[in-house]
Amino acid sequence: MSDSLYITSTTIRAGKAVVALGTLETLARQVGRIGVFRPVVDGDGEHDALLELLTVRYQLRADHSYGLTYAEAAAYVDEDGDSRLVAHLVDAFIHMKEHYDFVLVVGTDFTGPSPSTELALNARLASNMGSPVLAVVNGHDLDELEVVNAMDSSTSLLARLGCSVVTTIINRVDPERVERIRARIAEEPHRSPVYVLRDLPVLSALTVEEVANGLHGVVLVGGPDSLQREVDAYVAGSGHLQTLLPILSDGALVVASGDRADLAVGTAASALSRDMPTPSGVVLTCGHRPDPMTQMLLEASGLPVVAVEPDTYQTLHAIEGLRGEIRSTSRRKIAAALGEFNAGVNVDELSSQIRLSHPSVITPLMFSFGLLERARADRKRIVLPEATDERVLRAAEELVHSLVVDITLLGSPTEVQAKAVATGVDLAGMQIIDPSTSPLRDEFAEEYARLRAHKGVTLEAAYDTVVDPSYFGTMLVQTGRVDGMVSGAAHTTANTIRPALEIIRTTPDAKIVSSAFLMCLPDRVLVFADCAVNPDPSAEELADIAVNSADTAQAFGVEPRVAMVSYSTGTSGTGSDVDKVRAATALVAARRPDLPLAGPIQYDAAVDEGVGAAKLPGNPVAGHATVMIFPDLNTGNTTYKAVQRSSAAVAIGPVLQGLRRPVNDLSRGCTVPDIINTVAITAIQAQQVAAR
């Protein structure tokens, strides 16, 4: 089994960052302790954009992550060549590797003093490190024959220098040539897989933040998120406003003298208009600052505004020399890069080529990335009713750009678009439905009235009810127009569950709807239930929760070993509370004799092997439980939050169980990653519904 992989591009600007990002995403699903090492970096080594991207996104240690800077490396090269340099870098790699299960080595950037010899240097390093090589070939502006020749020459050199090339990725290919290049490659035998990725302009585009930093500008308007807008074009504001507005385009950065308040305000107004282009921002030159009234108008638009000292000509000239990067803050670029990588690369085949061993532990990061990969494998459509919530929009953008799911948003298109502009979110590829004006409203009202006729619901009342986004979204799920719904970022759990109970209803074998949290501890995943829905379930309901939670665990790759938690273990305690748990345990055993089961059992005896052996000797679940069933909501909710806060566990959920079609609830304090994980879970549940 391999414990390292060396990624090297064969020329400058081959898009190595995209490949490193996608490869590390693949590794993070399967490997616990991952390290990233760069042999030689530019600058001072402390501000390498690629290292920062990988270490921040994948929560990796940043110490010892590079060997030398180019300036330092020069001192190791003499008349005898670079043998001393190679020896030093390999030694640094070996010492670093001792602390990790797997190390991803990302080669040089071909920006050193001798870029023509850097491929040979990378080859010697990979060979001496004992690392298999993933070669990245730059296919930009190359036709089919040129791509094949470039690939053959570079991989031949790598092989001659003792490298084992396990995979080749041809990157930055013109989208119109991708299929022809794939067909040409398929005609020729290759000893290892070859993949082709498209050239996506968004990946090399500058962001407003990069422009501001590159120009040493001062940000007058804009937060960390709005500054991540990509710049697609530049417009010099040298005329009147009526001259500027017709030549504006989506993503355009307006560069104008700071004393032209009319151009700045007009550009900002364009961003707020549904019928006008949405620029990426404004750069005000000549050292001028807007007056307080103009500043207020600019702030109201949410469009980023940057002030710089040079004049307009000098500023435009300086921008031409800047280069866009994929940075840890570039959500849209990261999502687009991962989407392209997963669309173009067979990640299972790549893992097989690297010969990864099966992990002995499951980290939170591995589990989360595993959810995204499973959802991506069979994309489903998920509806998000809270489309004007900033967190929901950011999560939707990342999910769509990463090709995890398709998204439908509910709300007024004008309001949703305005919120997206204000937060810098790209709504491309998302469906937006306004429940109040949708032609589906009549159909949904008739169906809801039919379903609730036994409760006296009239057609008129139903027409008013289904306009509520939660009800409208639930009807989209019920009628199969979408595959699942995620809500709760701005609504209570009751607002999410009530429509589902009224419309979708429970499965034939489920007595109640319950919830489960997937608790990602540092080395394993546990299932906690019920922590969000049922205040005081009966013994029969508790048994139902246990069976459904075991199925949930199985569905998400957790081997179910069920612990019916109580304040007493075995037969040591009495009382109504423990008697309820004892009765529920008997019901589970009768209903599912195949399930490993223990109960009543105390929490410590369920999860600690030593305590379990002492308190319940011989029981295979004691000390090894993976599914924890709590006797009531008070116990379950308190325990999950205590474990989450005291052990740095990641709590994913609540996952609703027992519904015919998937609807899931969010906490009102949820984060963007929480929403992404819950949407992925909902998509996986939808896959299972379709399979049934």
At 115, the pLDDT band (50, 70, 90 cuts) reads low
> Do the Cβ atoms of 485 and 675 come closer than 8 Å?
no
* Per-residue pLDDT at 22: 94
* Per-residue pLDDT at 361: 64
Give the tokens for residue 566: 């109580």
Query: 506-658 architecture in CATH?
Result: 3-Layer(aba) Sandwich (3.40)
**Residue 491 pLDDT > 70:** yes
Determine the topology of domain 208-320 in CATH.
Answer: 3.40.1390
At 446, the pLDDT band (50, 70, 90 cuts) reads very high
The Cα–Cα gap between 547 and 587 comes to 10
The Cα–Cα gap between 570 and 590 comes to 18
H-helix or E-strand containing 221?
Answer: strand 218-221
Distances in Å between the Cα of 177 and the Cα atoms of 144, 195, 502 are: 8, 13, 51
**Residue 84 pLDDT > 90:** no
Give the tokens for residue 535: 């205040």
pLDDT, tens only, 162-180: 888 999 999 999 999 999 9
Q: Which residues of 646-666 are buried (b: 16+ CB within 10 A; e: fewer)?
A: eeebbbbbbbbbbbbbbbbbb
Annotate 70-134 with DSSP letters as a single string.
HHHHHTT-BTTBSHHHHHHHHHHHHHHHTT-SEEEEE---S-SS-GGGHHHHHHHHHHHHT--EE
Nearest alpha-carbon partner for 67 in 105, 99, 100: 105
Distances in Å between the Cα of 459 and the Cα atoms of 293, 441, 446, 467 are: 52, 11, 6, 13
Number of neighbouring beta carbons within 10 Å of residue 218: 14
The Cα–Cα gap between 151 and 138 comes to 9
Where does CATH 3.40.50.300 sit in the chain? 4-200
**Residue 118 pLDDT > 90:** no
At residue 73's C-alpha, the angle toward residues 67 and 76, to 5°, is 115
Alpha-helical regions (H) of 164-302: 178-187, 201-204, 208-214, 241-244, 261-272, 292-301
| Better-predicted residue by pLDDT, 340 or 421 | 340
The Cα–Cα gap between 334 and 327 comes to 8
pLDDT, tens only, 34-69: 899 999 988 776 778 899 999 998 888 877 788 998
- Helix and strand numbers (H, E) in the chain are 28, 23
* Per-residue pLDDT at 511: 85
Q: What is the 3-state secondary structure (H, E, C) of 519-540?
A: EECCCCEEEEECCCCCCCCCHH
Give me the percent of the chain exceeding a pLDDT of 90. Answer: 58
- Judged by phi (left if over 0) then psi (alpha if -120 to 50, else beta), residue 246 lies in alpha
Nearest alpha-carbon partner for 679 in 363, 389, 406, 366: 406
H-helix or E-strand containing 655?
Answer: strand 650-657
Q: Where are the beta strands (DSSP E) in 133-180?
A: 133-138, 165-173
The Cα–Cα gap between 564 and 442 comes to 47
Distances in Å between the Cα of 261 and the Cα atoms of 265, 267, 283, 288, 289 are: 6, 10, 12, 10, 9
The Cα–Cα gap between 147 and 170 comes to 8
- Strand pairing category for 34-41 and 66-69: parallel
Where does CATH 3.40.50.10950 sit in the chain? 377-504
3-state helix, strand, coil in the chain (%, to 5): 45, 20, 35
Distances in Å between the Cα of 482 and the Cα atoms of 36, 44, 67, 408, 475 are: 40, 51, 50, 8, 9
At 358, the pLDDT band (50, 70, 90 cuts) reads low
Q: What is the CA radius of gyration of the chain?
A: 28
Nearest alpha-carbon partner for 685 in 593, 555, 566, 587: 555
CATH of region 377-504: 3.40.50.10950
The Cα–Cα gap between 625 and 227 comes to 47
Distances in Å between the Cα of 297 and the Cα atoms of 21, 48, 238 are: 39, 37, 21
At 316, the pLDDT band (50, 70, 90 cuts) reads very high
* Per-residue pLDDT at 340: 94
**Residue 523 pLDDT > 80:** no
At 357, the pLDDT band (50, 70, 90 cuts) reads low
* Per-residue pLDDT at 646: 87
At 373, the pLDDT band (50, 70, 90 cuts) reads confident
Q: How many CA atoms lie within 13 A of 38 on its CB side?
A: 27
> Do the Cβ atoms of 88 and 76 come closer than 8 Å?
yes
Is the pTM for the entire model greater than 0.85? no
Q: Name the superfamily (CATH) of residues 4-200.
A: P-loop containing nucleotide triphosphate hydrolases (3.40.50.300)
Distances in Å between the Cα of 607 and the Cα atoms of 562, 623, 671 are: 11, 4, 29
Q: Compute, in degrees rounded to 10, the torsion defined by CA atoms 572, 575, 581, 586.
A: 70
H-helix or E-strand containing 509?
Answer: none
At 351, the pLDDT band (50, 70, 90 cuts) reads confident
Give the tokens for residue 44: 């001072």
> Do the Cβ atoms of 320 and 211 come closer than 8 Å?
no
Within 8 A by CB and 6+ apart from 368, the residues are 520, 650, 652, 673, 677
User: What average pLDDT score do residues 285-307 get?
Assistant: 91
Report helix, strand or coil for 388: coil
The Cα–Cα gap between 218 and 178 comes to 42
The Cα–Cα gap between 235 and 217 comes to 18
* Per-residue pLDDT at 363: 73
Nearest alpha-carbon partner for 391 in 645, 45, 676: 676
The Cα–Cα gap between 83 and 76 comes to 8
- Strand pairing category for 4-9 and 102-106: parallel
Where does CATH 3.40.50.10750 sit in the chain? 506-658
Please give the mean pLDDT across all residues of the chain: 90
Where does CATH 3.40.1390.20 sit in the chain? 208-320
The Cα–Cα gap between 248 and 279 comes to 7
